[in-house]
Each structure stands twice: as C-alpha cells, then as structure tokens.
Amino acid sequence: MRDLVRETHLLKDDLIMPVFVDANIKDRKEIPSMPGVYQFSLDAILDEIKVIVDKGIKAIILFGLPDHKDEVGTSAWEDDGIVQEAIRKIKKAYPDLIVIADTCLCEYTSTGHCGVVKDGVVLNDESLTYIVKTAVSQAKAGADIIAPSNAMDGYVAAIREGLDDNNFKNLPIMSYSIKYASSFYGPFRDAANSAPEFGDRKGYQMDPANRLDALREAASDVKEGADFLMVKPSMAFLDVMREVRDRFDLPLVAYNVSGEYAMIKAAAQNGWINENQIVRETLVGMKRAGADLIITYFAKDVADRINKGEVF
C-alpha cells in the first residue's frame, strides 16, 4: 500500500559521483575522514571509472590535486593539468559518461583560496580572469558540464562569455549558486588539499543564517546564464532547496557534502545508526525538498542497492 501512494523516488539517473584525481600519488589513497572514498592517480583513474559506469551511474564530478601550486593557480588551467589530462582519458574510454568539471582555484593556489589574494584580501574581479581560463581549458579537454564553485560575484556571466568566445556555446554551466560558508566541507579540504592558508571563505561564501540572500544568488545566476542551480551543503539547507525549486525552473542539484558523508559513516561504524536506512532517508529527503540531482559520495553504494532491486 505504501508503494502505491509513494510520492518521491530516488533513481540512479539522479546520482552524480565525485571523483578525486591526484598527481602526487600512485594507485589510490583512502581519505582518512571519508572511509570508502579514495584519491586516484591518473594511471588508476580508469579502474574507478569502470566501476562507476558498470553500476549504471551516468555522471561524475571531477576534482584535481595538482603537483604544483602558485599564487594564481596556474595548474588549474594548464593544458596538461591533472584535471585536463583526466578528462581526456576518461572521455576517450567512456564517451557516454557525463564528466562534470569542478571549476575552482582553491586546490591550485598556494593560499588555498578560491581566488587571487592581495594584501590578505581575495579579489573578486581579478579572480574571474583565472576562473574563466580554467573553465575554457576544461572545455577544451572535453568536459561535458562546467561547474564553477569559487562563488565569486559575476562568475557565471564571465564563464558564459569565455566559453562562447571559444566556440563552446552549447556547453552547460552548473553553478554552485547557493554555497554557504560551511564547516561541513572539512573532510573535503583534506581530500582536495585545499584548506585556506589564512582566514576563511566568508568573504565569498554565504552566511548559513541567510535565506533571502540565497534567492538573490539564484536569481543572479539565472540572469547570467546558468543552466543548473545548486544548493550546498544539503542536510541543513533543505528549506532553501524547496524555496529555490518553487521559484526557479532550472534543474536543481543538491550537494550532499563531505562532512555529511563523514558524520553518517562515523556513526554507522560505531554501530549507533543504521547506515543504509539513514542514507535512504537523507537522499530521499533531498528529492522531496525539490532536488533533481544529487552529488553524493554514497552514489556507488546507492547504485549497488538499486541494482539489487531495492526501491528508493
């Protein structure tokens, strides 16, 4: 009876799996604060992609850890940068897999900030130049979607113009539109080696107390030409997700972030919660709140369960 009147479903088509490619390691390395999630070398990356594709997951989002960093994040846009190499390799082997490129500088700058810094301040407009270069280089490497996450004002318009000027008029932009300055990103900053060297990201990421601010951010991204909107993190922001869903008609992405993953894993490892049930409740909750797609480190686990016949 419950199945007959069920309002919300989570499908494999809704899942996006994050993948870390690291220029500094051999094979793979587990991320201590994210059990079951690994960084992969360029040599090992296709082994992981095969696992993902074989489970029926249709999209990944790719993050890179470069072997050199500088003040402006040069390794983010080099032709032979780690992400560019990985995109080329993955698209050649699996042309049908949707490869989303996370477009940011924090993994590539020596300051660990998502833009360029002068006198201790992250400069919005100067940073746009570099984020556009990064997006264009990822597009040239074969990315299917550009996903800018550095949260600078005006980045969608700047990237759209950069892509259009370089003959990527049809390439969509998945903007991390509503990105809160959150402590839930802690484990990711280990995974991507991207913790800021000084200060925090409050100059460019949003205050978790704000709701109207979120609607303004979404509206400006829509106006600037975004093709997808995103709310990040997810669990503490489901009200925002619902409101964005109701007011805007673009596909909406929920980012179920690293700290949310780590909390569930840690409690489950202690035997304090039932991991499978909690994962289902959490992800279905995001769909109920209006998300169309979910970026989640649980994507492979969920796909396995769906493949075994479980209905989400």
Residue 69 C-beta: closest distance to ligand PBG, Å: 14
Tokens representing 273?
């919660």
Active-site position among 55, 69, 179, 300? 179
Q: Is 160 annotated as a binding residue?
A: no
Of the pair 156, 257, the CB lying nearest ligand PBG is at 257
Active-site residue flag, 232: yes
Please, what is the angle between helix 275-288 and helix 258-269, to 10°?
A: 150
Q: Give the position of tokens 């840690």.
A: 266
Residue 188 or 237 with smaller CB distance to ligand PBG:
188
Distance in Å, CB of 2 to ligand PBG, minimum: 32
- For the chain, the DSSP string reads -TTTT------GGGEEEEEEEETT-SSEEE-TTSTT-EEE-TTTHHHHHHHHHHTT--EEEEEEE-S--BTT-GGGT-TT-HHHHHHHHHHHH-TTSEEEEEE-STTTBTT--SSEEETTEEEHHHHHHHHHHHHHHHHHHT-SEEEE-S--TTHHHHHHHHHHHTT-TT--BB---EEB--GGGHHHHHHTT---SSS-STTTSB-TT-SHHHHHHHHHHHHHT-SBEEEES-GGGHHHHHHHHHH--S-EEEEE-HHHHHHHHHHHHTTSS-HHHHHHHHHHHHHHTT-SEEEETTHHHHHHHHHTT---
Tell whether 217 is in a known binding site: yes
Query: Shortest distance, CB of residue 310 to ligand PBG, whole angstroms?
Result: 25
Where does this chain bind ligand PBG (CB under 6 A)?
Answer: 102, 104, 106, 114, 149-150, 185, 188-189, 201, 257-258
CB 155 to ligand PBG: min, Å: 12
Pick the closer one to ligand PBG by CB: 167 or 183. Answer: 183
CA distance 155 to 133: 12
Confirm whether residue 245 is marked as ligand binding: no
Q: Pick the catalytic residue: 232, 265, 287, 300?
A: 232
Least Å distance, CB 201 to ligand PBG, is 6
Among residues 258 and 282, whose Cβ is nearest to ligand PBG?
Answer: 258
297 is in an annotated binding site: yes
Nearest residue (beta carbon) to ligand PBG: 188
For 302, residues 6+ apart whose C-beta sits below 8 A from its C-beta are 10, 12, 15, 279, 283, 296, 312
Task: Please check if 183 is assigned to a binding site.
Answer: no
247 is in an annotated binding site: no
Contact 80, 89 (CB under 8 A): no
Closest to ligand PBG by CB, 105 vs 222, is 105
Q: Respond yes or no: is residue 140 known to be catalytic.
A: no
Q: CB of 5: closest distance to ligand PBG in angstroms?
A: 34
Nearer to ligand PBG, 77 or 185 (CB): 185
Annotated binding site for Mg(2+): 217
Residues marked active site are found at: 179, 232
Annotated binding site for Zn(2+): 104, 106, 114
Annotated binding site: 104, 106, 114, 189, 201, 217, 258, 297
